[in-house]
Structure 1
């Protein structure tokens, strides 16, 4: 089975960014691109129980009309999704992707992605979905569940595409972070892009050795790489470094060493995701 870049699109303002970053990743990785739209037929609000207020015959008639209404809504949702998929496909072709594919599934987004993850090399998804207010500081609930459930790399993207020119990886010497450096070093996704490695902590011999290992690994693979060890609060320090060095793509492990490990993601990763205005690649 050929692993592919899979892009989850909906009717949100993030869909164009998802399309463009997915096209960029597909070409850089030389991997097939598939756009996915999931029609969630679960009712968004609970139906009122009217059985105590109307006669049996009237209630049966009402339930029949409700069922017909649900079916019409489902048909409209499927047609809207088909049009979105076709528009995404055309946009990707204009962006240079040879033969992007499309898939439409019924169900929930999280369950569908869990079923399809063995086919994924990379999942591209927007920070929030179509039902989330775009000014919200909270991650979309779907994204939270996707990050918690999937074992594949996830590229969370903003609304507008910008080809990455400088990448930063938040590094703590953990197994996940070391795997991230090794993946980044060999991935064609970052070929020719300078990489910054940042450790937040004290200037100790161990931290310096960890940083030297990361830089040697990246430079050994042909990357231009530089690093820094900075003291301070983790999220604020990483954010300041990102802004000072015009970083336009972050790479982070989805879990850290803290007791928050059993929750959605490490607390620092969650904070960075909420405030991110650039793409964030989450590694598992």
Structure 2
């Protein structure tokens, strides 16, 4: 089975960016593209016990009306989901995707993605969804759990997506970082783009050796590879480097452990997700 780019769409202001990022990735990777909309079942609060103030028949009538209202809400939500998928698929076709698919599911997002994980080559998400749009410092309620649960590359996009011209790999010599290095070198996703290698930590002989090996792998794959070792805290150093060099997309490990703990511990991943102004490609 050919693995695909799967993009999660919820109708929030991030959906357009998610769709654009997914279409760009699918075209670069020559992979099929599918959009997923998951309709969460909302739990209805039971009505207050009014049997002491209204008749039994009236209470039964009220319950029937509430049930009918829930059914109507459910149908409206389904129709909204179909319209969201139709609009985003049309936008993907305009971007050059010949046959973007749509998938509408009921249930939990994480559980649905676990079910679909085997067929995913790249997952694309917005850093916030409908429930978090009002608070700019809050991530989507499912985002961290999805990243921790799925063992797939995950592209987390900001509210606006622009086609990357320069990318950066946060590298520390760990197994996850080497996996990212191999992915960048072997994937068509970043071919032809400069790839900056950035290590955060002490500029030691060991670090220089690791950086030199990584740079050589990317150069052999045809990349232009600026490479640096910078002291400081990863969150601020990576952000400053991104802004100074016009980086459009950052690649980094997520929620793991490394020999240079500044890069890949969970708190750093969450901070980068919250503060980054560019898309992040997260690897496990």
- Residue 15 (str. 1) matches residue 15 (str. 2): yes
- Residue 218 (str. 1) matches residue 218 (str. 2): yes
- Which residue in the other structure is 2:248 paired with? 248
CA offsets, 1:28-60, max 9 Å, x none? 0000000111111122x6445436655544333
**CA-CA distance at 1:266 after TM superposition:** 1.7
How many angstroms apart in 1 are the aligned matches of 2:88 and 2:104? 13
- Which residue in the other structure is 2:49 paired with? 50
- Which residue in the other structure is 2:231 paired with? 231
Aligned partners of 1:174 and 1:256 also within 8 Å: no
Relative to structure 1, the CA distance from residue 79 to residue 232 in structure 2 (aligned partners, 3 Å threshold; closer, same or farther) is same
**CA-CA distance at 1:143 after TM superposition:** 0.9
RMSD: 1.9
Relative to structure 1, the CA distance from residue 152 to residue 53 in structure 2 (aligned partners, 3 Å threshold; closer, same or farther) is farther
How many angstroms apart in 2 are the aligned matches of 1:52 and 1:185? 69
Note the 1:106-145 alignment, pairs <5 A: 106-145=106-145
Give the aligned length: 280
CA offsets, 1:156-184, max 9 Å, x none? 01122211011111111111111111111
- Which residue in the other structure is 1:207 paired with? 207
Per the alignment, in what secondary structure is the counterpart of residue 128 of structure 1? Answer: coil
How many angstroms apart in 2 are the aligned matches of 1:236 and 1:140? 22
How many angstroms apart in 2 are the aligned matches of 1:63 and 1:150? 41
- Which residue in the other structure is 1:154 paired with? 154
- Runs of 5+ unmatched residues, structure 2: none
**CA-CA distance at 1:6 after TM superposition:** 0.6
Aligned partners of 1:17 and 1:157 also within 8 Å: yes
**CA-CA distance at 1:111 after TM superposition:** 1.1
- Which residue in the other structure is 1:79 paired with? 79
Relative to structure 1, the CA distance from residue 227 to residue 134 in structure 2 (aligned partners, 3 Å threshold; closer, same or farther) is farther
How many angstroms apart in 2 are the aligned matches of 1:210 and 1:184? 16
**CA-CA distance at 1:217 after TM superposition:** 1.1
- Runs of 5+ unmatched residues, structure 1: none
Aligned partners of 1:37 and 1:81 also within 8 Å: yes
Aligned partners of 2:131 and 2:141 also within 8 Å: no
Per the alignment, in what secondary structure is the counterpart of residue 130 of structure 2? Answer: coil
Per the alignment, in what secondary structure is the counterpart of residue 196 of structure 1? Answer: strand
**CA-CA distance at 1:138 after TM superposition:** 1.9
- Which residue in the other structure is 1:6 paired with? 6
